[in-house]
Amino acid sequence: MAKIATWNVNSIRARLPRVLEWLAEFSPDVALLQEIKVVDEAFPALEIEELGYNLAIHGQKTYNGVAILSKSPIEDIRCGLPGDDSDEQARYIEAFTGGLRVASIYLPNGNPVPGEKFDYKIAWMDRLITHAESLLVNEEAFVLGGDYNVIPADGDCYDPARWVGDALCQPESRNRFRSLLNLGLTEAFRSLHPEPGRYSYWDYTGGSWQKDFGVRIDHLLLSPQASDRLIECDIDKTPRGKEKPSDHTPVWCEIGDEGAVF
């Protein structure tokens, strides 16, 4: 059994105490991190390795940056989303670890709409769809986890009217997210939890956390071979309620061992 979690930490250096205590307490087998906001050389590797994790880092100065932490050796590391060699933003890292292929994804926010940033978001999603198609050909278990910056449906935000016009719930964004699912991927949380009003992100402003004005934008997308082994998935709100938190909180799932009967 493997626990796989995704968490947008909003700067690994500013969040290091929160990340270290979460790794020690929750002890995920694989952690997919986003917005590490640091170059590879400045990533606080030693402290995390001391907790028993191997690292794969695709960093960038100031913005973006993604990483994979795993208790198992990490092999076949690929940095960058295929499909545009001119794209220099560090938003995708993929590797094989613990018997699974995993990817840490920081999908572009895309605001304001319309504009170059929204065009980049949609083009990035089209590249992700193409890449997911190529991964599915191998018929292996994989998990594409990360901050998708997409509110899949109105039940995934506290006030749908407030988000009309935002890049996170534009029809073009939602349609492409559904295209990923229509390829055969399973969105782990929604597949097990039908209830609306469960969130993974709360804005820092205006007491959003205290009022539970959140949105669900952090997702775990599973290949059929991984989905067949899905045991549980949930959102861990604990880290969001601590001192100096990220504005996101971890989403995790459990994948049973291959061939296990349960």
Partner DNA sequence: ATGGTTGTGTTACAA
Q: Which residues are catalytic?
A: 106, 147
Which residue from 28, 59, 108, 145 is in contact with DNA, where contact means CB under 7 A?
A: 108
Site for DNA in 13-42 (CB under 7 A): 13-15, 37-38
Which residue from 4, 6, 10, 104 is in contact with DNA, where contact means CB under 7 A?
A: 10
Separation between Cα atoms, residue 242 and residue 246, nearest integer Å: 9
| Contact (CB, 8 A) for 88 and 69 | no
Residue with smaller CB distance to DNA, 42 or 153 = 42
Peptide bond into 245 cis (omega under 30): no
Token representation of residue 103? 């990817």
Q: Is 243 in the site for DNA (CB under 7 A)?
A: no
Q: What's the min distance (Å) between Cβ of 228 and DNA?
A: 33
**Cross-strand pairs, 57:** 67
Q: What is the DSSP secondary structure assignment for residue 256, as one 8-state letter?
A: P
Q: Is 239 in the site for DNA (CB under 7 A)?
A: no
Lookup result for tokens 């979690």: 5
Angle, helices 116-136/171-182, rounded to nearest 10 degrees: 0
Residue with smaller CB distance to DNA, 101 or 248 = 248
| Contact (CB, 8 A) for 121 and 105 | no
Of the CA atoms within 13 Å of residue 210, those in its CB half-sphere come to 4
Separation between Cα atoms, residue 187 and residue 121, nearest integer Å: 20
- Show the site string, 52-91: x = touches DNA by CB under 7 A, - = not: ---------xxx----------------------------
Residue with smaller CB distance to DNA, 108 or 152 = 108
- Strands (E) across the chain are located at 2-8, 30-34, 54-58, 66-70, 74-79, 92-97, 100-106, 142-147, 186-187, 201-202, 214-215, 218-222, 230-235, 251-255
CA proximity to 43, closest of 22, 78, 7, 19 = 19
Q: What is the DSSP secondary structure assignment for residue 157, as one 8-state letter?
A: B
Q: Is 165 in the site for DNA (CB under 7 A)?
A: no
Q: What's the min distance (Å) between Cβ of 42 and DNA?
A: 9
Q: What's the min distance (Å) between Cβ of 102 and DNA?
A: 22
Q: What's the min distance (Å) between Cβ of 89 and DNA?
A: 8
- Show the site string, 189-228: x = touches DNA by CB under 7 A, - = not: ---------------xxx----------------------
Residue with smaller CB distance to DNA, 14 or 181 = 14
Which residue from 194, 210, 244, 259 is in contact with DNA, where contact means CB under 7 A?
A: 244
Q: Is 122 in the site for DNA (CB under 7 A)?
A: no
Q: What's the min distance (Å) between Cβ of 261 and DNA?
A: 42
Residue with smaller CB distance to DNA, 10 or 70 = 10
Q: Which residues bind DNA (CB under 7 A)?
A: 10-11, 13-15, 37-38, 61-63, 108-109, 111, 117, 204-206, 244
